[in-house]
Amino acid sequence: MLPREDAPMLFVNAQVFDGSGRPLFPGEVLVRGDRIAAVAKGSERLSRDDASIIDCAGATLMPGLVEAHAHLSWPSSVGRIFDSFTLPPEEHMLVTARNARVTLDAGFTSAYSAGAFGVRFEIALRDEIDGGWLPGPRLRASSLERLPEGALGLPADPNAAHPRGPQGMRDYVKAMARERIDSIKFLLSSDEAFKPGGSQELTYTEEEVAAIGEQARESGVWLACHAQAAQAVKLAAKHGFRILYHCSYADAEALDMLEARRDELFVAPAVGLLWSRIHEAEAFGITREVAEQMGALSGLDRMCTLYPEMKKRGIRILPGGDYGFPYNPIGRNARDLELFVNLFGFTSTEALVAATKTGGELMGRDRIGMVKSGSLADILVVNGDPTRDVRVLQDQARLTMIMKGGAFHKRTSIAREGTAP
């Protein structure tokens, strides 16, 4: 990041998308410290006193994007593909830190983690980023992805297992809270991608899930889950999980439960991974046949009916697509918005609202995701109009400015600097 300037900064000549869903409006945005201090619309002018002027030359100014299903420790990123998920820990941590920068380069100023490959990877990384020592998005740090028998994808480690039963779950949640984790991830169901029929297999008992929910509330940590089976979705909705991923087999009762708690919870299909598994993974040995064995085609099919229905019910649905796989590398994250438009019936503007304002609600704890007085100054300046075509966000050359907390991560001169018009 470039150091934050002492003087207030005034963006002028911008077409503002403020995150609310209202149409673009010509305007000016004043940033003071790490916050947006004022927004002017139309012919209104903000004070130029002491401000350094940044001319956007008619480009779109919008909130930074929020990735709702981030895996910064899944190694692969655009241009740097790993064929294994597990690396020696020293390399793995460095690759993870680099992936944070790649995510920010892609316009994502916030990332809500859906699981890490080391218990303390993301705690350490979050603290480095928050301290300003490493570039990266605001991070809600996650624990490992837990199955009862250990962590997903890691070699069996006797220390990684936790005892079963409600007390075992409470102890695990408490231990994670002591580590200062933001979110604990559980796999409440297995998955077709792990074994045939896996999606219908529940991994924890209801008593255990209830204990997880109670202890998380007591310890002040958030809960995230992988949930495919209808019953897994219901358990998560009932016991206070903040974000539910996938949900492919949600039935009518599960949808009712999600709707009843729509002000407290979020869902994210993580559609990017399914899409690339079906269409872009041949070179990695995943033929269409293998993709179907992994449930990708039928899963995507179900989602194309399910998510428009959730949208109709006002359930908060977030982009965020499990990026970090070799065929779905980190850095392509903005493609999820295009998939929301093409598959789930979102307008471009609705997909943008989901990735900004609603994503900011998921991040919680501060005012994130809107261009509004008092919000954190997480800002993109985009050459083009993403409310007409969200694909412009996938072209990093068009992301001419990326600001996080009032400090520039990227600033290319699309425009002259100097006196304001």
**What is the per-residue binding string for Zn ion in 41-60, x denoting contact by CB under 5 A?**
--------------------
**What is the per-residue binding string for Zn ion in 121-150, x denoting contact by CB under 5 A?**
------------------------------
Q: Is residue 309 left, alpha or beta, with left meaning phi > 0 and alpha meaning psi from -120 to 50?
A: alpha
- Which is nearer to Zn ion, 211 or 270 (by Cβ)? 270
Stretch that binds Zn ion, among 59-67, 111-119, 150-158, 259-267 (CB under 5 A): 111-119
**What is the per-residue binding string for Zn ion in 192-231, x denoting contact by CB under 5 A?**
----------------------------------------
Could you tell me the smallest distance in angstroms from the CB atom of residue 270 to Zn ion? Answer: 6
- Which is nearer to Zn ion, 105 or 322 (by Cβ)? 322
Q: Is 322 among the residues that bind Zn ion (CB under 5 A)? A: yes
- Which is nearer to Zn ion, 19 or 75 (by Cβ)? 75
- The β-bridge relationship of strands 108-113 and 138-140 is parallel
Chain residue at closest Cβ approach to Zn ion: 322
- Which is nearer to Zn ion, 14 or 224 (by Cβ)? 224
Dihedral, CA of residue 306, residue 307, residue 310 and residue 314, to nearest 10: -170
- Which is nearer to Zn ion, 324 or 386 (by Cβ)? 324
Place of tokens 């910064």: 72
- Which is nearer to Zn ion, 322 or 338 (by Cβ)? 322
Stretch that binds Zn ion, among 50-58, 257-265, 274-282, 319-327 (CB under 5 A): 319-327
- Given a contact cutoff of 8 angstroms between Cβ atoms, the answer to whether 310 and 335 are in contact is no
Could you tell me the smallest distance in angstroms from the CB atom of residue 185 to Zn ion? Answer: 8
240: CB partners within 8 A, 6+ apart = 213, 216, 217, 223, 264
- Which is nearer to Zn ion, 122 or 322 (by Cβ)? 322
- Which is nearer to Zn ion, 55 or 145 (by Cβ)? 145
Q: Which of 102, 114, 257, 392 binds Zn ion (CB under 5 A)?
A: 114
- Which is nearer to Zn ion, 192 or 322 (by Cβ)? 322
Could you tell me the smallest distance in angstroms from the CB atom of residue 42 to Zn ion? Answer: 43
d(CA 190, CA 263): 27
- Given a contact cutoff of 8 angstroms between Cβ atoms, the answer to whether 161 and 101 are in contact is no
- Amino acid at position 218, single letter: E
**What is the per-residue binding string for Zn ion in 341-380, x denoting contact by CB under 5 A?**
----------------------------------------
Stretch that binds Zn ion, among 114-122, 327-335, 352-360, 382-390 (CB under 5 A): 114-122
Could you tell me the smallest distance in angstroms from the CB atom of residue 322 to Zn ion? Answer: 4
Could you tell me the smallest distance in angstroms from the CB atom of residue 276 to Zn ion? Answer: 13
- Which is nearer to Zn ion, 68 or 363 (by Cβ)? 68
Stretch that binds Zn ion, among 56-64, 126-134, 227-235, 322-330 (CB under 5 A): 322-330
Applying CB under 5 A, the site for Zn ion has a residue count of: 2
**What is the per-residue binding string for Zn ion in 64-103, x denoting contact by CB under 5 A?**
----------------------------------------
Stretch that binds Zn ion, among 14-22, 247-255, 318-326, 329-337 (CB under 5 A): 318-326
- Which is nearer to Zn ion, 116 or 382 (by Cβ)? 116
- Given a contact cutoff of 8 angstroms between Cβ atoms, the answer to whether 393 and 52 are in contact is no
For Zn ion, the binding residues (CB under 5 A) are: 114, 322
